[in-house]
């Protein structure tokens, strides 16, 4: 009895690709979940005389993106 060669259908291929993509996304998300569980540092107290602007690392990165 000759064996039939199963042809990969487009639907089967896309379902397999979607499953592999979902597995990769969940594996990438797991290390991030462990990092999010760590407590954050307490924010600095607000100044009493105004002047609450602080040049943080986040703001420095933003300013670098605005350079042309």
Residues recorded for the chain: 68
State the pLDDT at residue 58: 92
Instruction: Kindly report, residue by residue over 12-36, the tens digit of the pLDDT.
Output: 888 888 998 888 887 777 765 555 5
Distance separating alpha carbons of residues 68 and 66, to the nearest angstrom: 6
Strand (E) or helix (H) holding 17? helix 10-36
| Token reading at 30 | 């797991």
Q: Is the pTM of this model over 0.75?
A: no
Q: Are 30 and 20 in contact (CB under 8 A)?
A: no
| Token reading at 16 | 């397999």
Instruction: Kindly report, residue by residue over 38-68, the tens digit of the pLDDT.
Output: 667 777 777 777 777 878 899 999 999 998 8
């Amino acid at each position: 009895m000759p064996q039939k060669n199963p042809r990969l259908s487009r639907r089967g291929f896309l379902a397999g690709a979607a499953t592999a993509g979902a597995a990769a996304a969940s594996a990438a998300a797991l290390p991030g979940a462990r990092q999010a569980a760590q407590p954050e540092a307490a924010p600095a107290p607000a100044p009493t005389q105004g002047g609450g602007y602080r040049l943080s690392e986040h703001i420095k990165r933003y300013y670098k993106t605005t350079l042309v």
